[in-house]
């Protein structure tokens, strides 16, 4: 019988792993040859980045244009498999540009490390004793990063919370300024290092000690004005109504915020930043006081639409795969941000642009029409169209207003019979 219980799989070469997968999954020689094709990321390097590598996979990377943020123009690299995202961001940025573009900024890059302390005999007294020795704890934490200390960054504060139900525990927050890093490694090192001292002071037992991906102190803000003369007064009112729906309806809010993350994640993918962390962060922040939309809309005194976004973003411009993978490094060069705060502001602007574009489509023609027009190319290719056949199949489907696999195959068969 086939089994996935295999010891030492990681010790095999890439080719040996691929051979195992071929036999287990009944892959054809053609399928194996496809898996052996790799782009600009050499398989030898990929094999050092993650475990049990058999191949690499590429996403289309496009460039969103028209972005003007804080009176500076940007090209935005975006890697994503979903059609319409890059085009929508570009179109939204073009509308915002007429009123000066986006304004954006981000707070200091403060992250939180958490230390869970159990079995504390007198937790309320222990809290006071921890706060009394706060400076010593901070100094100890800062020995873990001479780089951050030399930049007047690093550990800045501690917070202590006590929970009584469902069982008693103490949680110590270590607040760390990580500058241009995402911050996970240094925070984890700091938490590990100060854990014994916290045990000594509290008389308790430290269990977990790790960063939190919720960065309530590391927030990016962006705003833009979308002219009623461009989008129409009806669209202004409809978008505001749609925002109000998201503010009270969690089902709409979830979809609303997913649209924001379409843009944010695509930039993070292009630059090889941690988009899973960004997702957890954004949705947790949206749920802090009852889940709601991260972007908001209102009408100014001229009747124009004003969009704003408040989103937590922990992003790095140094370290990790951002610099070690060539295309990610080049994507960062295209983006041209100087530090993590500027990067966070750009991401907030992209998220707002993406959200506005989606709401505008919903408010006017409906989201499906524009999305499916772009998706029609994927449908044409999926049924086997190549070269100029793709454009011909797409044109017919749009003309017949039937964008489907069945119709695409029928049209392709007709084209090939002529």
164 in catalytic set: no
303 vs 298: CA distance, rounded Å:
9
Which of 99, 127, 228, 371 is catalytic? The answer is 371
**How big is the chain by its Cα radius of gyration, in Å?**
25
Angle at 275 between CA 269 and CA 280, to 5 degrees: 165
299 vs 297: CA distance, rounded Å:
7
395 vs 415: CA distance, rounded Å:
12
User: Residue with structure tokens 């890697």?
Assistant: 79
Question: Can you say whether the dihedral through the CA atoms of 213, 215, 216, 219 is positive or negative?
Answer: negative
Which of 47, 82, 199, 310 is catalytic? The answer is 82
Number of helices (H), then strands (E), belonging to the chain: the values are 18, 10
| CB-based contacts of 13, cutoff 8 Å, min separation 6 | none
Which of 114, 177, 265, 274 is catalytic? The answer is 274
279 in catalytic set: no
User: Residue with structure tokens 């398989």?
Assistant: 43
Residue 128 phi/psi, 5° resolution? -60, -40
209 vs 115: CA distance, rounded Å:
4
Helices (H), 227-289: 228-231, 233-248, 250-270, 275-286
139 in catalytic set: no
136 vs 196: CA distance, rounded Å:
13
- Whether the bond into 166 is cis, omega within 30 of 0: yes
Which of 45, 244, 258, 299 is catalytic? The answer is 258
Q: Taking the CB of residue 48, how many other CB atoms lie within 10 A of it?
A: 10
Helices (H), 12-120: 14-25, 29-35, 43-49, 85-97
Cα 96 from chain centre: 22
283 in catalytic set: no
- Two tokens, residue 45: 């390097």
**H helix or E strand, kind and range, residue 306:** strand 305-312
Q: Which positions are catalytic? A: 82, 258, 274, 371
């Amino acid at each position: 019988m086939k089994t996935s219980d295999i010891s030492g799989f990681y010790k095999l070469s890439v080719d040996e792993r691929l051979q195992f997968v071929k036999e287990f999954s009944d892959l054809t020689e053609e399928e194996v040859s496809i898996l052996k094709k790799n782009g600009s990321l050499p398989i030898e390097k990929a094999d050092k980045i993650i475990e049990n590598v058999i191949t690499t996979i590429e996403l289309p990377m496009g460039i969103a244009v028209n972005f003007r943020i804080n009176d500076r123009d940007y090209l935005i690299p975006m890697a994503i498999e979903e059609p319409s995202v890059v085009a929508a961001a570009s179109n939204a940025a073009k509308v915002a540009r007429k009123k000066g573009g986006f304004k954006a900024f981000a707070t200091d890059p403060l992250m939180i490390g958490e230390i869970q302390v159990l079995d504390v005999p007198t937790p309320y007294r222990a809290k006071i004793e921890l706060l009394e020795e706060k400076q010593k704890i901070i100094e100890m934490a800062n020995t873990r990063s001479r780089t951050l200390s030399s930049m007047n960054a690093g550990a800045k504060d501690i917070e202590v919370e006590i929970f009584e139900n469902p069982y008693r525990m103490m949680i110590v927050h270590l607040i760390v300024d990580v500058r241009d890093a995402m911050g996970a490694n240094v925070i984890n090192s700091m938490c590990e290092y100060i854990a014994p001292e916290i045990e000594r002071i509290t008389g308790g037992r430290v269990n977990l000690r790790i960063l939190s991906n919720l960065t309530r102190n590391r927030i990016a803000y962006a705003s833009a004005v979308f002219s009623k003369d461009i989008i129409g007064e009806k669209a202004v009112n409809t978008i505001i109504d749609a925002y109000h729906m998201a503010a009270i309806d969690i089902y709409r809010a979830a979809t609303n915020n997913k649209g924001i993350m379409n843009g944010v994640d695509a930039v993070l993918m292009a630059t090889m930043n941690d988009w899973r962390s960004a997702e957890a962060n954004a949705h947790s922040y949206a749920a802090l006081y009852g889940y709601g939309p991260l972007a908001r809309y209102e009408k100014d005194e001229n009747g124009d639409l004003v969009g704003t976004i408040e989103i937590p973003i922990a992003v790095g411009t140094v370290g990790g795969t951002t610099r070690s993978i060539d295309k990610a490094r080049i994507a960062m060069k295209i983006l041209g941000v100087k530090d993590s705060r500027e990067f966070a502001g750009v991401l907030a602007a992209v998220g707002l642009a993406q959200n506005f574009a989606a709401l505008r489509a919903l408010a006017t023609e409906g989201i499906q029409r524009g999305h499916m027009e772009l998706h029609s190319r994927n449908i044409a290719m999926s049924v086997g169209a190549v070269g100029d056949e793709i454009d011909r199949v797409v044109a017919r489907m749009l003309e017949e207003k039937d964008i489907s696999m069945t119709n695409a195959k029928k049209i392709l068969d007709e084209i090939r019979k002529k």
